[in-house]
Chain A
Amino acid sequence: MTRTVPPSSEPEAQDSTAPKDVAPAVALHTGTSNVRTLLTSNLRQSGIYIAFVAIIALFTVLTDGTLLSPGNVTNIVLQYSYILILAIGMVIVIIAGHIDLSVGSVVALTGAVSAVLVIQQGLPWWVGVLAALATGVAIGAWHGFWVAYVGIPAFIVTLAGMLLFRGLTLQVLDNISLSPFPPGYGDIASGFLNGLIGGDGYDAFTLLIGGIAVAGYAVSQYRSRIALIRYQQPVESFPLFVAKIVLVGAVVMAFAWQLAHARGLPIVLIILAVLILVYAVVTKRTVFGRQVYAIGGNLAAATLSGVKVRAVNFWIFVNMGFLAGIAGVVFSSRSNGAQPGAGNMFELDAIAAAFIGGAAVTGGVGTVVGAMVGGLIMAVMSNGMQLMGVDQSIQSVVKGMVLLLAVAFDVYNKRRAGASR
């Protein structure tokens, strides 16, 4: 049995202001955890971080450090942002036990709608953005209707959507590519915030934002630690807690440092960071998020616990459509136009990111942060192999193997956990 809470070795975490617990069994579980349990208690989660670090290290060596150079770090962010945005929605869909095969086509259609309005009709850039988002939401509602209220499996509904919206993209674009967008629209995916407070050879603003992010992280971690102690729950020992924050802080600042020495803070990174933050909170802390996990974990039990399954499923797909709309805007902005074939195979990258990030094929398991790391693993691998000049065909083979092995590792872990009882 994998024990999530180890017996306490030092009962110092008992807070004197909290009501004393008489049951010794509880005192046993109020305490501190050490590094080993932190790693092993959730091998599934920590495994992916270790793999991520290892892959970065590997490609840094293989590319003689180019991978982590300021320009390339910026590139990775710009190139893979839309996949990560899709993966946020996708992991929620997968946790609920569904799948969405249509997002690539939706990215194409939303981008096309925006391009027609902005490029052909000459409307302002923000009209295009709003129209793309509205299109995404409408498509999501369409999928949600069929999945939640008619009861057709999402696999079928979104497979139909994949064909349907690809066809509509061709209709909207009249089979031709539209470009270029007027300046302004392109900034969404390719613009930078820099030089706002100067800096000599680097962008001080980027570093400032990085610093604020780290400080915010430290404060929120500290506050949740205080709350945990007040409720007599296990927390890591204080040195370990500090070490964790210092480590995260160092990584974020190093990342900001590299960005600051290139072109500054990408606007799309700000969009992505806000989305990750919001959706991590939504999935972890909100009633809606809990209901998503409940539906994926046991649909019947969720229904009989009063979860409005239809409504939740409906909004999951509306949300996926909304995020696909954002991804459509970002992608059309980055490619500076709309093409009939845009977004091809994006759904597979997003699905792969979610599964590499620890989501379970059977539903009920997965995290937004995990999906982001999963997406970044794919991104770093693709980018690293491109830098090395590896052939496209080999890249595809490697990515396929990584997806397979990641899920195999997950299945192996689960079996180990299951067999121990």
Chain B
Amino acid sequence: MDDHILEMRGITKTFPGVKALENVNLVVRRGEIHAICGENGAGKSTLMKVLSGVYPAGSYEGEIVFDGQSVRFSGIRDSEHVGIVIIHQELALVPYLSIAENIFLGNERRGRFGVIDWNKANAEAGELLRSVGLDENPVTPVGQLGVGKQQLVEIAKALSKDVRLLILDEPTAALNDTDSAHLLDLMRRLRDRGITCIMISHKLGEITAVSDNVTVIRDGKTVETLNLHAGEVTQERIIRGMVGRDLESYYPERESHPGEEILRVEDWTVWHPTQDRKVVEGANFTVRAGEVVGIAGLMGAGRTELAMSIFGRAYGRNTTGRLFVHGKEVKPRNVSEAIDAGIAYATEDRKHYGLNLIEDIRRNVSAAALDKLASKGFVNGNEEVKVAEGYRRDMNIKAPSVASIVGKLSGGNQQKVVLSKWLYTDPEVLILDEPTRGIDVGAKYEIYTIINRLVAAGKAVLVISSELPELLGICDRIYTLSAGRITGEVPVQQATQENLMELMTKEKELAA
């Protein structure tokens, strides 16, 4: 008989008009790493909010059994009290406070008279940091750490609360490969110490690498729980459960017919806005009609900076170089001139830079091309709805109507709104910065299909991505960027992850 630390039985959670979870069952064995996967909007986060008490007992139907006891949480404090800690995708650390202060925030180590004993706190924090393999001084402000290290601080914080069931929501979404590997390793060690982990992730490679079991959720229902130690559970097998069908391929087929050159960038150099250094140096590249061109580079290579500086000098200073659209030189001084020149740039971080989350789909779609809907400065609101409605259908944005607030959509649907906004500006060249970050497999496939439709219509698409398989799957040509310099141009037929990675790290070797 298996030893179950957690059983969630028949969980049903309804919001007005929407059934978010329907009779979901989740069984987690003691001391395992249990992955939960499903498309965005499938109900993973809602399930975790039910478990952690964000949605208090009574607001859902069903039963939660933790460690053999039926539990009813009325808030997060209750669930933390029994040892359930959730680490959200958006880290909840205070950047100006030190590591130790963050770890004990809300759980302060009080000495006599209720005064915090900082020596004790720092010493304890140091020990916790060692246990998560983070070599930092506990008095360092958290804001000075990278995202990967902040993640470790979050885990140290969870350990300080005597965690027994640790829930990680997309723990590696913002991490680079080294940090991800480190985190996964730490999860294994925590498991060996007897801490049960639930991991929500889109990265199937990670799931198959570390988890013992994976539960697949689709449309608010449990589809299946697969034991990764029993037989062949491949990534394709998990995807089939998530989307309810076989994806023949991650990437839709496309025939490549590059036409004339649309975008040419010559000798592009960008300085950091405040520091005295070049972020991009002497970059040359072209994108042709009907062509998807990739830019591959590690974090900090200057990918986003390159794109944003082209997009009406939205980044950097002292930018020099020449920019040609359809062979004609353009000199956009600001974003609206760049849009007029036929350039569109969909940002990497759609929540902070791409969308007005408190507005509806309609107003987000029209935001970059309001002039097209206006005459003499007056916006035709009805025409606007018609346009947005058209994109909602074309892009398959899953929302009740174009009056739905964008902040309430899932990541994939938000990204489709961003794409709609830029397509409505009718660009010649579309720059997509990490177009599929944090969105699920099904929506990724849809985004790729949209990209294919664009190039089929003769547009030029430039894709920036840190996922090499993605670039290999959708691009015709790939440029590699390393420390602000373009270090290579590889046709996709000759590109492999290995030779791209070699080019992406070229500069570093030279410097060494």
Show the binding face of B for A, using Cβ within 8 Å. 15-18, 311-312, 314, 334-336, 338-339, 345, 347, 352-360, 363, 366-368, 370-371, 374, 377-379, 381-383, 385-386, 389, 393, 400-401, 403-404, 408, 421
| B15 surroundings in chain A (CB, below 8 A) | 1, 420-421
- Interface 0/1 of A335-371, CB less than 8 Å to B: 0000000000000000000000000100011000000
Q: Is the CB of B374 within 8 A of A287?
A: yes
Judging by beta carbons under 8 Å apart, are A285 and B378 in contact?
A: yes
What are 11 A-B contacts defined by CB distance under 8 Å? A231-B382, A231-B383, A285-B381, A286-B378, A290-B363, A290-B379, A305-B368, A306-B312, A306-B334, A365-B358, A421-B408
CA distance A293 to B359 in the complex (A): 9
The answer to whether A308 touches B382 (Cβ under 8 A) is: no
Residues of A within 8 A of B385 (CB): 231, 233
In residues 305-324 of chain A, which contact B (Cβ within 8 Å)? 305-308
A291 to B366, CA, bound (A): 11
- Residues of chain A lying within 8 A (CB to CB) of residue B379: 285-287, 290
When chains A and B are docked, how far (Å) is the Cα of A180 from the Cα of B383? 54
Given the known A-B contacts A5-B401, A26-B389, A290-B370, are A301 and B353 also in contact in the complex, defined by CB atoms under 8 Å?
yes
Contact A304/B354 with A1-B17, A4-B401, A290-B363 known, Cβ cut-off 8 Å = yes
Assess the B16–A3 pair: CB atoms within 8 A.
yes
Instruction: Add 20 more A-B contacts to A5-B401, A301-B353, A301-B354 (CB < 8 A).
Output: A1-B18, A3-B17, A26-B393, A29-B400, A29-B401, A286-B379, A287-B378, A290-B379, A293-B359, A294-B363, A298-B353, A298-B355, A298-B356, A298-B358, A301-B356, A303-B314, A305-B368, A306-B338, A307-B335, A364-B359
CB distance from B447 to the nearest CB of A (A): 19
Contacts of B389 in A (CB 8 A): 26
Minimum Cβ distance to chain A for residue B375 (Å): 10
Question: Does any Cβ of B come within 8 Å of A274's Cβ?
Answer: no
How far, in whole Å, are A286 and B381 apart by their CA atoms in the complex?
A: 10
C-alpha spacing A14/B408, complex, angstroms: 28
Contact present for B357 and A298 (CB under 8 Å) = yes
Interface string of A217-233 (1 = CB under 8 A from B): 00000000001101101
Number of residue pairs spanning A and B whose beta carbons lie under 8 angstroms apart: 112
Q: List residues 264-307 of chain A with CB under 8 A from any CB of chain B.
A: 285-288, 290-291, 293-294, 297-298, 300-307
Q: CB-nearest residue of chain A relative to B410?
A: A421
Residue A23 interfacial (CB < 8 Å): yes
How many Å from the CB of A305 to the closest CB on chain B?
4
Measured CB to CB, the closest approach of chain B to A240, in angstroms, equals 19
Known: A4-B401, A364-B358. A305 touches B367 (CB 8 A): yes
Asked if A34 is at the interface of the complex by the 8 Å CB criterion, the answer is no
Contacts of B357 in A (CB 8 A): 297-298
Size bracket of the A interface: 35 or more
CB nearest neighbor in A for B18: A1
Least Cβ distance of B8 to chain A in Å? 20
Q: Which residue of A lies closest to B338 (CB)?
A: A306
Smallest CB gap from B59: residue in A: A419
Rounded to whole Å, the gap between the CB of B429 and the closest CB of chain A is 15
* A166–B17 alpha-carbon span in the complex (Å): 55
CA distance A308 to B370 in the complex (A): 13
Partner of B339 from A3, A4, A228, A306 at Cβ < 8 Å: A306
B407 CB, min distance to chain A CBs, angstroms: 8
Given contacts A294-B367, A301-B367, contact A4 B403 (CB under 8 A): yes
Q: List which A1-41 residues lie within 8 A (CB) of chain B.
A: 1-5, 23, 25-26, 29
Taking the closest CB of chain B, its distance from the CB of A290, in whole angstroms, is 6
Give Cα A228 to B18, complex, Å: 27
Taking a contact as CB atoms under 8 Å apart, the answer to whether B400 and A227 are in contact is: no
A231–B386 CB distance below 8 A: yes
Q: Which residues of A contact B377 (CB under 8 A)?
A: 286-288
Least CB separation from B382: chain A residue: A231
Q: Are A227 and B401 in contact (CB under 8 A)?
A: no
How far apart sit A227 and B384, CA to CA, in the bound complex (Å)?
12
Is the CB–CB distance between B353 and A304 below 8 Å? yes
In the bound complex, residues from chain A placing their C-beta under 8 Å from that of B339 are 306
Q: Is the CB of B358 within 8 A of A3?
A: no
Contact indicator A5/B382 (Cβ below 8 Å): no
Most buried by B among A227, A231, A302: A231
List chain A residues, Cβ under 8 A from B408: 1, 421
Q: Is the CB of B367 within 8 A of A302?
A: yes
**B378 proximity list for chain A (CB < 8 A):** 285-287
| Among A25, A228, A286, A421, residue most surrounded by chain B Cβ atoms (within 10 Å) | A421
Q: How far is the CB of A132 from chain B (nearest CB, A)?
A: 27
The residues of B that contact A26 with a CB separation of less than 8 Å are 389, 393
Asked if B401 and A301 sit within 8 Å, CB to CB, the answer is no
Residues of B within 8 A of A286 (CB): 374, 377-379
Beta-carbon contact of A233 and B382 below 8 Å: yes
**Closest residue of B by beta carbon distance from A284:** B381
Which residues on B sit within 8 Å (CB–CB) of A23? 393
Q: Nearest Cβ in chain A — how far from B495, in angstroms?
A: 30
A287 partner, pick from B354, B360, B371, B404, beta carbons under 8 A: B371
A10 to B379, CA, bound (A): 30
A307: B residues at CB distance < 8 A: 335-336, 367
A305 to B356, CA, bound (A): 10
CA distance A371 to B345 in the complex (A): 37
A287, B126: Cα distance in complex, Å: 55
Collect the chain B residues with CB atoms within 8 Å of residue A308's CB.
334, 336
Determine how close the nearest CB of chain A comes to the CB of B324; give it in whole angstroms. 21
Residue of A nearest to B353 (CB): A300
A314 → B minimal CB distance (Å): 15
Return A32 CB to nearest CB of chain B, in Å. Answer: 14
**Candidate in A227, A231, A298, A306 with the most chain B CB atoms within 10 angstroms:** A306
The 4 closest A-B pairs by CB, nearest first: A306-B336, A297-B356, A305-B368, A231-B382
A5 in contact with B17 given A286-B379, A304-B335 (CB within 8 Å): no
- Residue in chain B with minimal CB distance to A414: B358
What B residues does A1 contact at CB under 8 A? 15-18, 408
Residues of A within 8 A of B354 (CB): 301, 304
Could you say which residues of chain B place their CB within 8 Å of the CB of A303?
314, 335
Distance (whole angstroms) from the CB of A39 to the closest CB of chain B: 15
With the chains together, A293 CA to B336 CA distance in Å? 18
How far is B408's CA from A2's CA once the two chains are assembled, in angstroms? 11
Given contacts A5-B400, A26-B389, A290-B370, contact A302 B17 (CB under 8 A): no
Neighbour of A420 across the interface among B16, B314, B347, CB < 8 A:
B16
Complex CA–CA separation, A320 to B388 (angstroms) = 33
Select one of A5, A227, A302, A421 contacting B356, CB under 8 A: A302
Query: Roughly how many angstroms separate A4 CA and B314 CA in the complex, as a whole number?
Result: 35
CA separation between A384 and B358, bound complex, in Å? 37
A300 CA to B345 CA, complexed, in Å: 13
Report the minimal beta-carbon distance from A6 to chain B, rounded to whole angstroms.
9
Contacts of A306 in B (CB 8 A): 312, 334-336, 338-339, 368
Least Cβ–Cβ distance between B427 and chain A, in angstroms = 12
List, in ascending order, chain A residues with CB within 8 A of B401's CB. Answer: 4-5, 29
